[in-house]
């Protein structure tokens, strides 16, 4: 395993060495070039490179990184694995490293982002090359930053300090909108501070090492520390953090840029629309407001951004395995028969569970448990359950299970009027949907029905032949 990367720059260097980074040195316009390129690179498929733009019209030294997590090759390199690692190999590697949680953090006092600090006349439009990503977006957004807050009802609790990815609309020079749904940790923090009639101190870390971004977009338990999980995912190497001077919040050592400020007490303003991971624009909503009081940054910082739109785009790679693994772990605790979980599609609005079947009706019991996990409550609109012989990451096999095993009369189970994230465009009303469980496992006693013949299994020598043929064609 390659040692973990402490910052974005060292990861970009590694990507370049692996031919997974393209440097774009010609002058580009913030709009439409950067958003258009973000869409285009996502269309290149599962080995697409990251992009580093070094000449942005109107700026002197600005740099923009896009698509850093945007392929299975880059995802594997982030984990220190060979870039040809399969999805399933990366899934089980992440799952194995998770077992080392928690790894105590590495507290430091000096950080590269302390090079420049601004306290007055902050103008984010001039300091950072923020840009409109898709034509209907309300404005430039910061959409790949780690947002750090604490629970004011328990402010000394390190685990309850949250590090999460929330979209931030740049509305004015020092003025941001922030989107959080009710189940998110940020919503708990803002509720706790408003109960005390206070604003909420916030730090926003932009341009981070890739593991930090991965963990910040993972549905951890409320009091689990993202930084202690990052240490586990770095193979046990403690995650380096530094106290931000204005808010006292713990922020990454390696960030390119740190913003510090306050979520204003009881302020809600119009925010959006913004092209979302669902492939549709979200509607406009009244959302919390952030006032920025401090900017800390490296000289010539790299502004990292994420393109999202109709899947697949970078966000689908970023949210693939870090959504799948926790669901797998949560199910496995109660149902050891579960083999793997694929929650890669549209942030887990569709989930595919592969499991051995204990008895008739077992598959739907497992699916119902998934609906009550922290992520399942908001996202798992459709749950497909397949037998253990089906690889849930192999959609050809999953489709075979659907076609061969499902009788809709018995195997399509709907549960009406369930909560879900309001970003799903099918909600009726917004935030409420019907859930669908599709049992695509073969019926087992006492659920006897249909005429299922004996499954076809090949001669055992088939495995040797597969190895031989792979060698001959490689």
Partner 1 sequence: MICPRCQSPDASTVAHSPVAGVWTMNSCPTCWYAWRSTEPPAATDPDLYYSEFRLDRDEIAAAPRIV
Considering only residues 46 to 75 of the shown chain, the ones binding partner 1 according to CB under 8 A are 57-60
Q: Binding marks (x or -) toward partner 1, 408..427, rule CB under 8 A? A: --------------x-----
Instruction: Give the count of residues interacting with partner 1 (CB under 8 A).
Output: 47
| 242 closest CA partner among 102, 112, 104, 103 | 112
- Contacts of residue 287, defined as CB under 8 A and 6 or more positions apart, other chains included, come to 177, 178, 179, 180, 268, 269, 271, 272
Q: Which stretch binds partner 1 (CB under 8 A): 132-140, 216-224, 411-419, 453-461?
A: 132-140
Query: For partner 1, which is the closer residue by CB, 136 or 336?
Result: 136
Query: For partner 1, which is the closer residue by CB, 245 or 284?
Result: 284
Query: For partner 1, which is the closer residue by CB, 172 or 360?
Result: 172
Q: Which of 1, 46, 96, 126 binds partner 1 (CB under 8 A)?
A: 126
Q: Which stretch binds partner 1 (CB under 8 A): 220-228, 264-272, 303-311, 450-458?
A: 264-272
Question: Quick check: 279 binds partner 1 (CB under 8 A)?
Answer: no
Name the minimum Å distance from CB 371 to partner 1. 21
Written as six digits, the tokens of 313 are 């785009």
Strands 21-24 and 50-53: parallel
Strands 412-419 and 432-439: antiparallel
Name the minimum Å distance from CB 140 to partner 1. 6
| 65 closest CA partner among 127, 11, 2, 123 | 11
**Scanning the structure block, which residue is given the tokens 């495995």?**
463
Q: Which stretch binds partner 1 (CB under 8 A): 25-33, 73-81, 92-100, 227-235?
A: 25-33
Q: Which stretch binds partner 1 (CB under 8 A): 1-9, 135-143, 226-234, 354-362?
A: 135-143
Q: Are 352 and 341 in contact (CB under 8 A)?
A: yes
Count of CA atoms in the C-beta half-sphere (13 A) of 108? 15
| 125 closest CA partner among 172, 168, 78, 66 | 172
Considering only residues 144 to 183 of the shown chain, the ones binding partner 1 according to CB under 8 A are 169-173, 177, 180-182
Q: Which stretch binds partner 1 (CB under 8 A): 145-153, 244-252, 265-273, 451-459?
A: 265-273
Name the minimum Å distance from CB 139 to partner 1. 3
| Other beta carbons within 10 Å of 409 | 7
| 48 closest CA partner among 25, 68, 78, 63 | 68
CA 12 to chain centroid, in Å, comes to 19
Report the C-alpha dihedral over residues 21, 63, 32, 269, rounded to 10 degrees.
120
Name the minimum Å distance from CB 404 to partner 1. 42
| Other beta carbons within 10 Å of 100 | 15
Query: For partner 1, which is the closer residue by CB, 184 or 234?
Result: 184
Query: For partner 1, which is the closer residue by CB, 82 or 182?
Result: 182
Report the C-alpha dihedral over residues 124, 127, 133, 139, rounded to 10 degrees.
30
Q: Which of 271, 411, 420, 424 binds partner 1 (CB under 8 A)?
A: 271
Where would I find the H helices in 300-444?
Answer: 314-318, 321-334, 362-371, 374-378, 395-405, 408-411
**Distance between CA atoms of residues 426 and 432, nearest Å:** 9
Q: Which of 69, 75, 97, 132 binds partner 1 (CB under 8 A)?
A: 132
Q: Which of 2, 19, 23, 29 binds partner 1 (CB under 8 A)?
A: 29
Crossing angle (nearest 10°) for helices 362-371 and 321-334: 120
Q: Are 16 and 41 in contact (CB under 8 A)?
A: no
Name the minimum Å distance from CB 219 to partner 1. 17
Q: Which of 16, 18, 22, 32 binds partner 1 (CB under 8 A)?
A: 32
Q: Which of 102, 159, 238, 273 binds partner 1 (CB under 8 A)?
A: 273
Name the minimum Å distance from CB 7 to partner 1. 24
Does 194 participate in catalysis according to the annotation? Answer: no
Peptide bond between residue 305 and the one before it cis (omega within 30 degrees of 0): no
Query: For partner 1, which is the closer residue by CB, 47 or 123?
Result: 123
Q: Which stretch binds partner 1 (CB under 8 A): 29-37, 39-47, 290-298, 390-398?
A: 29-37
Query: For partner 1, which is the closer residue by CB, 18 or 31?
Result: 31
| Other beta carbons within 10 Å of 182 | 12
| 254 closest CA partner among 2, 3, 1, 9 | 9
Question: Quick check: 139 binds partner 1 (CB under 8 A)?
Answer: yes
Q: Which stretch binds partner 1 (CB under 8 A): 73-81, 134-142, 157-165, 312-320?
A: 134-142
| 288 closest CA partner among 206, 380, 385, 180 | 180
SS3 77: helix
Name the minimum Å distance from CB 83 to partner 1. 36
Catalytic option among 226, 228, 260, 276: 276
**Distance between CA atoms of residues 170 and 178, nearest Å:** 9
Active site residues: 276
| Residues near partner 1 (CB under 8 A) | 29-32, 57-60, 123, 125-126, 131-132, 135-136, 138-140, 169-173, 177, 180-182, 184, 186-187, 190-191, 268-271, 273, 281, 283-288, 422, 430-431
């Amino acid at each position: 395993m390659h040692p973990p990367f402490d910052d974005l720059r060292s990861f970009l260097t590694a990507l370049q060495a692996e031919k997974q980074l393209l440097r774009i040195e010609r002058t580009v316009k913030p709009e439409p070039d950067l958003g258009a390129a973000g869409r285009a690179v996502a269309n290149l498929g599962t080995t697409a490179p990251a992009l580093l733009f070094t000449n942005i019209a109107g700026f002197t030294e600005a740099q923009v990184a896009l698509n850093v997590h945007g392929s299975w090759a880059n995802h594997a390199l982030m984990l220190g694995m060979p870039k040809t690692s399969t999805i399933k190999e990366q899934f089980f590697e992440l799952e194995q490293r998770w077992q080392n949680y928690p790894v105590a953090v590495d507290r430091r006092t000096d950080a590269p982002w302390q090079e420049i600090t601004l306290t007055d006349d902050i103008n984010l439009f001039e300091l950072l090359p923020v840009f409109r990503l898709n034509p209907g977006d309300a404005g430039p957004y910061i959409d790949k930053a780690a947002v750090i807050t604490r629970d004011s009802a328990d402010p000394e609790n390190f685990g309850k300090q949250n590090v999460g990815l929330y979209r931030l609309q740049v509305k004015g020079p020092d003025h941001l909108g922030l989107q959080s749904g009710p189940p998110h940790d940020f919503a708990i923090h803002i509720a706790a501070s408003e109960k005390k009639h206070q604003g909420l101190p916030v730090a926003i870390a932009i341009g981070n090492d890739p593991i930090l971004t991965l963990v910040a977009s993972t549905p951890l338990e409320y009091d689990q520390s993202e930084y202690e999980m990052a240490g586990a995912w770095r193979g046990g190497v403690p995650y380096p953090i530094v106290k931000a001077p204005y808010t006292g919040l713990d922020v990454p050592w390696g960030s390119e840029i740190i913003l510090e400020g306050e979520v204003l007490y009881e302020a809600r303003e119009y925010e959006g629309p913004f092209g979302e991971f669902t492939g549709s624009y979200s509607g406009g909503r009244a959302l919390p407001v952030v006032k920025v009081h401090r900017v800390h940054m490296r000289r010539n910082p790299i502004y990292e951004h994420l393109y999202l739109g109709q899947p697949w785009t970078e966000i689908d790679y970023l949210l693939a395995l870090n959504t799948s693994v926790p669901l797998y772990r949560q199910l496995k605790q109660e149902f050891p028969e579960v083999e793997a979980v694929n929650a890669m599609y549209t942030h887990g609005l569709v989930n595919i569970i592969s499991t051995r079947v204990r008895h008739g009706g077992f598959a739907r019991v497992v699916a119902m448990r998934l609906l009550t996990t922290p992520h399942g409550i908001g996202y798992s609109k459709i749950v497909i359950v397949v037998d253990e012989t089906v690889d849930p990451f192999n959609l050809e096999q999953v489709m075979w299970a659907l076609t061969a095993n499902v009788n809709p009369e018995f195997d399509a189970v709907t549960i009406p009027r369930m909560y879900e994230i309001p970003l799903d465009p099918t909600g009726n009303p917004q935030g409420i949907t019907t859930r669908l469980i599709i049992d695509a496992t073969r019926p087992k006693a006492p659920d006897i029905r249909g005429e299922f013949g004996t499954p076809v299994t090949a001669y055992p020598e088939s495995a040797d032949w597969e190895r031989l043929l792979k060698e001959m064609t490689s």
